[in-house]
Amino acid sequence: MRRPLKSFQLLTGANPSNTQPQCPRASVRDITEKQISRTPSAPTAIPLREIIYKVPGLFPRPVGDSVKDFRDFIKSEDVFQTELLKTLPFYPNPSKLKKSRVIRTVVDDDGNYINEFCIRPINPSVPETELKHLIFIHGYGAGLGFFIKNFEDIPLLNNEWCVHAIDLPGYGFSSRPKFPFEYPRDNLHDVQDWFHKRLHTWFNKRNLLNKPDKNVVMAHSLGSYLMALYVQKYKERPSFKKLILCSPAGVSHRDSNNTTSEAEKWKPPPWWYVKLWDRNISPFTLVRNSRQFGSKITSGWSYRRFKHILNGDLKQSSRFEALHRYAYSIFNKRGSGEYLLSFALKCGGEPRLPLEEQLFNDRNLNILRSSNYEWLWLYGDDDWMDVNGGIRVSKFLNEKLRQKSNVIIVPHAGHHLYLDNSKFFNDILVKEMRKV
């Protein structure tokens, strides 16, 4: 694999091209094709000789710590989420302005639930029915804990806002039922419906359907893909007014006419890697089957991904440790919702049925027009998702429907832009909240 550790990230995109997204304040940049052209990095297999050569540095977690993590997981899985949330100044005990709690809402007849972290003002300035709501939805293989820096720093403006972060059905610390679908036997739309019905039940049970104009949803990666299609599923009763699509997956097919050098062009993954992908055999499978060494294997991704949080400050060091252990715990839990991936994306990250074909086209003008959504598309300036698709769809929404849609490039950020540049990202969210 040309960028070895990105095999853990699994989602990727093609090169961006011409656009002029609007960015807040002093960070405004006119984006041209030359400025934002990036080397694609499709997920593919790491050569065995490269694994052997690099193995000491690939998985930096000490064996003793990895064994301890495994024993703690066997004893109590919930402790991993709790210890991460406890790095916040308002959990489990409230601060002067905020209080928070974990809520589990049953969303089907089998008792399966969606896990939620909810932050509320201590003294709301408006009645309960007038509160505004910001909902965080994660991407593939992730969980609500990855938004830890956003929870801490986003204000509950004028004590009028609640923040809800959820684990998608079958993800994170939501219940993990046996996934009832198998690729390619089952239909993609049936799989999408499975998620959408449970999400809609959650919105309903949490009393978020009464005033959808007060709801803003921020969804990341594969979560963006699901929430964009949720718009189509529940077109007659919208659940929110604004949808912020953060490094969205599955928007469009890769541009085959890119102008990058031969070395930067996409290479097809080997046939056996495609077979593993389609059978949902992933790095998570390796973590689950490695028992005491699962946390060590997870560190091949988590230490590199979260190391910028570890800056010498004791509090941040504790958070880094908690974030790694949290990542290990959700990777090690039973596979369930993650199996959406093989239905939604081909091996290498190419969508099987892009959003441009399913939703953002002339056939669906009435569906999109009836609810008059507002859209925001966010990409990191070193993202591997294809910004071209977001630009094209945003233009479609502007010109065909006269709907508000904009594209913003987040500087110094990759796919996990909400964490890579949390201050810039949070400022964008606050700006959007002020518009509600």
Q: Is the pLDDT of residue 236 over 80?
A: no
Q: What is the pLDDT of residue 1?
A: 33
Residue 184, preceding peptide bond in cis (omega within 30° of 0): yes
Bridge partners, residue 134, by sequence: 163, 216
34-48, 78-92, 266-280: least confident range: 34-48
DSSP string, 329-365: HHHHSPP-GGGGHHHHB-TTS-BSS-HHHHTSSGGGH
Q: Report how far residue 323's alpha carbon sits from residue 137's, in angstroms, rounded to the nearest whole number.
A: 18
Least confident among 5-19, 79-93, 209-223 = 5-19
Give the catalytic positions in this structure. 221, 383, 415
| Sign, Cα dihedral of 24, 26, 27, 29 | positive
Nearest 10 degrees: Cα torsion 6, 8, 14, 19: -90
Kindly tell me if the per-residue pLDDT of 335 is higher than 70. yes
Answer whether the bond into residue 56 is a cis peptide, omega within 30°.
no
Lowest mean pLDDT among 114-118, 235-239, 285-289, 358-362: 235-239
Q: Which residue has the tokens 């800056």?
A: 311
Taking the CA atoms of the chain, what radius of gyration do you get in angstroms?
21
Residue 218: is its pLDDT beyond 70?
yes
Q: What is the pLDDT of residue 48?
A: 52
Looking at residue 53, its pLDDT comes to 55
C-beta separation of 239 from 135 below 8 A: no
Task: List the domain boundaries for the chain.
Answer: 4-434
Q: What is the pLDDT of residue 28?
A: 33
CA atoms within 13 A on the CB side of 272: 3
Q: How far apart are CA 201 and CA 128, in angstroms?
A: 20
pLDDT tens digits, 360-418: 999 998 888 877 899 999 999 999 898 999 999 999 999 999 999 999 999 999 999 99
State what percent of residues in the chain have pLDDT above 70.
84
Question: Does residue 32 surpass a pLDDT of 80?
Answer: no
Task: Report the topology of domain 4-434.
Answer: Rossmann fold (3.40.50)
